[in-house]
């Protein structure tokens, strides 16, 4: 049964003047729930009193026509039962509107539920309920009503936007993106919808399509500040610095006080080593927004970098002046002290913040870092362990805990921490790498291999995982499978220097395919010319070719770059041995042993042999 809805709103024309996009749900206002400026209301005489009361709240008298003349079925008279339901629905709708006006959302929810019971096919009432529940952060409940709206009015643009908003708030960006696309298809001239779509595209890192949408918007509305700013952000993240600068400057031409554009322009200048320009833009920003502690912190760092210590200290005092101990704004001061190595001062500032704001996980993370640097491992573990999974610092905190526990040789505890983190964040590849490294340290290579394979089930083409798998297979004695993984990486990325080096070194160590090994190592060296490991591989190829002079040249250079690697020191001992320089051979064999060479027995045999030769000489 259909009837004219006395609260039904006529479709408003699409606007081409979009407002800045926000992801923060706003409370439903009186106008949002009860606005009747463009709505045609119908009713019966018995409702005039209620209509007058609600209109007084709205500031606009409704327009009323008889129900019979407004019915969608020409000539059909509405039954008394239908009139009663509509009257009751409107009465509850009006009461809901008043409840919202008085700040009673729970009462509004109850009245709207009763209204929908009487008029279940009203898309308008379902929309208002969805908006109310959204403001109350009951997103699943809001979604149910929004889906009902879509069923009732599948071509309604606002329903698509509401659905998209709710899916985005619930973290389902794929469906949100789909709904925004549908809304754009229904109303392609609406730039506000395109901005909403662009916001999700940026979040999904679909930057090229986001830029295309911004170009469409700017072609129609070239002075839309937010579009220029978005374009700058995307280009900055893609390291297109010239395009980013142009976009930020255009946004600032249109609105010279736009704080985010000023801050990001300063970021760009820092990234491109234009530190003087960065200082200038941050100083200008602080003239307008003196409480921007992020800009002050950056200025402190820049002043120190430019040798302007007095100005740096002045900014540090400004941070103290514009904030009080324990306030979130003092976080910048805590981080400055941390960077300067003033660990006690950093700990004092950050401790005050997390005491007052236990959910400030950024401050807690850096507090844990300060304790770690100070050597108070128990305190560091305590604070890292309090960071919740919803924080963006959670993964880094778990990684720190894993490293710290491993350093203390508490391997089983480290394994429990990382395994628990993996159950919460299965998609985070770095956790699998961390867990595998703990097992690798314990020389439990089969378990480490299984962990890496579990990670590859999440991302089968992750090069870091494939490389680690190859290394572990090598350590477990399966060199053939190791080479297979390294070659797989080179097929995926022909310029992966470490894989090229691994293949070349493996050939050299076996004394096979030395010419091919040389080509691979030389290619790797062009990609990483300062890598001690790759230079060692090149020296080792010359060693295997019997060219000991060339071998010594490269192995000495490798030892300079990577002096604490036991294998490089062993190689240097080997080449001195071949050149019959037994004194130097003994020095480097002993150093390899002191650095805990994995083949201790072999190194001890070499030391004994050299010592005997030296005795024989004497």
Residue 231's pLDDT is: 95
Closest CA to 369 of 359, 384, 357: 384
**Residue 85 reports pLDDT greater than 60:** yes
- Provide the greatest CA pair distance for the chain: 125
Q: What is the mean pLDDT of residues 513-527?
A: 97
Q: What is the mean pLDDT of the chain?
A: 86
CA 323 to each of CA 208, 285, 287, 328, 351: distance values in angstroms, whole numbers, following the listed order: 41, 17, 16, 8, 15
Q: Give 467's contacts (C-beta < 8 A, 6+ positions apart).
A: 485, 486, 489, 496, 498, 499, 502
Q: What is the mean pLDDT of residues 222-246?
A: 95
Q: What is the mean pLDDT of residues 500-526?
A: 96
Q: Which two tokens stand for residue 210?
A: 């986001």
Rg (CA), the chain: 34
Residue 81's pLDDT is: 55
CA 81 to each of CA 51, 85, 123, 464: distance values in angstroms, whole numbers, following the listed order: 20, 6, 21, 70
Residue 205's pLDDT is: 86
Question: Tens digit of pLDDT for each residue in 104-130?
Answer: 999 999 999 999 999 999 999 999 999
Cβ atoms of 439 and 476 closer than 8 Å? no
Residue 56's pLDDT is: 30
Residue with tokens 């294998």, as numbered in its chain: 567
Q: Give 223's contacts (C-beta < 8 A, 6+ positions apart).
A: 254
Residue 378's pLDDT is: 97
Q: Angle CA(532)–CA(527)–CA(472) in degrees, nearest 5?
A: 60
405 vs 616, more confident: 405
Q: Angle CA(369)–CA(374)–CA(378) in degrees, nearest 5?
A: 70
Q: What is the mean pLDDT of residues 140-154?
A: 93
C-alpha 522/C-alpha 370 separation (Å) is: 42
**Residue 7 reports pLDDT greater than 70:** no
Q: Where are the alpha helices (DSSP H) in 375-428?
A: 377-385, 394-407, 411-424
Cβ atoms of 585 and 576 closer than 8 Å? yes
With cut-offs at 50, 70 and 90, classify the pLDDT of residue 616. Answer: confident
**Residue 79 reports pLDDT greater than 90:** no
Residue 236's pLDDT is: 94
C-alpha 264/C-alpha 269 separation (Å) is: 9
Q: Residue-wise over 290-316: b if at least 16 C-beta within 10 A, else e?
A: eebbbbbbbbbbbbbeeeeeebbeebb
Residue 498's pLDDT is: 97
**Residue 61 reports pLDDT greater than 80:** no
**Residue 391 reports pLDDT greater than 60:** yes
Classify 524-617 by CATH class. mainly alpha
With cut-offs at 50, 70 and 90, classify the pLDDT of residue 332. Answer: confident
Cβ atoms of 119 and 86 closer than 8 Å? yes
**Residue 26 reports pLDDT greater than 50:** no
Q: What DSSP character marks residue 216? A: H
Fold assignment, 1-153: 1.25.40
CA atoms within 13 A on the CB side of 608: 6
Backbone angles phi, psi at 529, to 5 degrees: -65, -15
C-alpha 184/C-alpha 189 separation (Å) is: 8
Residues of the chain with CATH 1.25.40.10: 1-153, 524-617
C-alpha 451/C-alpha 428 separation (Å) is: 13
Residue with tokens 């709207």, as numbered in its chain: 112
CA atoms within 13 A on the CB side of 89: 25
Lowest mean pLDDT of 322-331, 436-445, 512-521, name the range: 322-331
C-alpha 317/C-alpha 6 separation (Å) is: 62
Q: Residue-wise over 3-37: b if at least 16 C-beta within 10 A, else e?
A: bbbbbbbeeeeeeeebeeeeeebeebeeeebbebe
Q: What is the mean pLDDT of residues 419-443?
A: 96
Q: What is the mean pLDDT of residues 28-41?
A: 30
With cut-offs at 50, 70 and 90, classify the pLDDT of residue 581. Answer: very high
**Residue 441 reports pLDDT greater than 60:** yes
Question: Tens digit of pLDDT for each residue in 172-201?
Answer: 989 999 999 999 999 999 999 999 999 999
45 vs 163, more confident: 163
Instruction: Tally Cβ neighbours within 10 Å of residue 549.
Output: 9
- H or E element: which one contains 320? helix 309-321
Residue 82's pLDDT is: 58
Q: What is the mean pLDDT of residues 234-263?
A: 96
C-alpha 362/C-alpha 390 separation (Å) is: 12
With cut-offs at 50, 70 and 90, classify the pLDDT of residue 87. Answer: confident
**Strand, helix or coil for residue 6:** coil
Supply the pTM of this predicted model: 0.64
Residue 326's pLDDT is: 84
């Amino acid at each position: 049964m259909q009837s004219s809805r006395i609260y039904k709103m006529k479709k408003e024309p699409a606007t081409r003047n979009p407002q800045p996009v926000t992801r923060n749900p706003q409370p439903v206002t009186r106008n949002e729930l009860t606005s009747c400026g463009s709505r045609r209301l119908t009713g019966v005489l018995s409702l005039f009193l209620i209509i007058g009361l609600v209109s007084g709240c709205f500031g606009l008298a409704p327009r009323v026509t008889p129900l019979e003349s407004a019915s969608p079925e020409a000539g059909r008279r509405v039954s008394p039962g239908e009139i009663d339901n509509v009257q009751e629905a409107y009465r509850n709708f009006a009461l809901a509107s008043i409840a919202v006006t008085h700040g009673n959302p729970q009462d509004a929810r109850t009245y709207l539920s009763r209204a929908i019971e009487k008029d279940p096919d009203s898309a308008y009432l379902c929309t208002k309920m969805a908006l109310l529940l959204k403001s109350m952060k009951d997103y699943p409940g809001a979604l149910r009503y929004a889906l009902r709206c879509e069923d009732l009015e599948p071509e309604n643009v606002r329903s698509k936007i509401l659905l998209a908003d709710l899916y985005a708030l619930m973290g389902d960006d794929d469906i949100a993106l789909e709904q925004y696309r549908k809304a754009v298809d229904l109303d392609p001239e609406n730039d506000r919808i395109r901005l909403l779509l662009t916001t999700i595209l940026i979040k999904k890192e679909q930057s090229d399509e986001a830029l295309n949408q911004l170009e469409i918007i700017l072609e129609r509305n070239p002075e839309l500040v937010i579009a220029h700013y978005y374009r700058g952000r995307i280009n900055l993240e893609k390291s297109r610095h010239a395009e980013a600068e142009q976009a930020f400057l255009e946004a600032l031409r249109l609105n010279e006080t736009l704080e985010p554009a000023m801050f990001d322009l300063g970021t760009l200048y820092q990234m491109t080593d234009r530190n003087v320009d960065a200082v200038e833009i941050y100083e200008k920003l602080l003239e307008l927004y003196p409480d921007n502690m992020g800009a002050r912190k950056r200025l402190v760092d820049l002043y120190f970098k430019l040798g302007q210590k007095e100005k740096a200290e002045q900014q540090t005092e400004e941070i103290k002046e514009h904030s009080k101990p324990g306030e979130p704004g003092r976080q910048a001061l805590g981080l400055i002290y941390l960077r300067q190595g003033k660990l006690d001062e950093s700990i004092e500032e950050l401790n005050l913040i997390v005491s007052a704001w236990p959910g400030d996980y950024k401050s807690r993370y850096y507090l844990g870092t300060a304790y770690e640097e100070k050597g108070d491992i128990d305190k560091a573990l305590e604070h890292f362990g309090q960071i919740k999974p919803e924080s963006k610092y959670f993964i880094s905190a778990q990684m720190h805990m894993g490293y710290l526990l491993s350093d203390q040789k508490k391997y089983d505890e480290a394994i429990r921490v990382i395994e628990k983190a993996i159950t919460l964040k299965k998609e985070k590849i770095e956790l699998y790498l961390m867990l595998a490294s703990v097992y690798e340290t314990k020389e439990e290579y089969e378990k480490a291999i299984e962990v890496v394979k579990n990670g590859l089930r999440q991302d089968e083409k992750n090069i870091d995982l494939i490389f680690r798998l190859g290394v572990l297979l090598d350590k477990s004695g399966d060199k053939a499978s190791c080479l297979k993984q390294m070659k797989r990486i080179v097929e995926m990325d022909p310029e992966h220097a470490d894989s090229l080096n691994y293949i070349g070194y493996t050939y050299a160590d076996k004394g096979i395919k030395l010419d091919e090994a040389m080509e691979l190592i030389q290619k790797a060296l062009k990609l990483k010319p300062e890598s001690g490991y790759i230079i060692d591989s090149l020296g080792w190829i010359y060693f295997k070719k019997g060219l000991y002079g060339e071998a010594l040249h490269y192995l000495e250079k490798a030892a300079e770059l990577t002096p604490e690697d036991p294998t490089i020191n062993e190689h240097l001992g080997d080449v001195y041995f071949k050149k019959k320089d037994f004194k130097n051979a003994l020095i480097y064999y002993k150093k390899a042993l002191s650095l805990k060479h994995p083949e201790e027995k072999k190194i001890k045999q070499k030391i004994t042999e050299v010592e005997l030769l030296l005795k024989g000489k004497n």
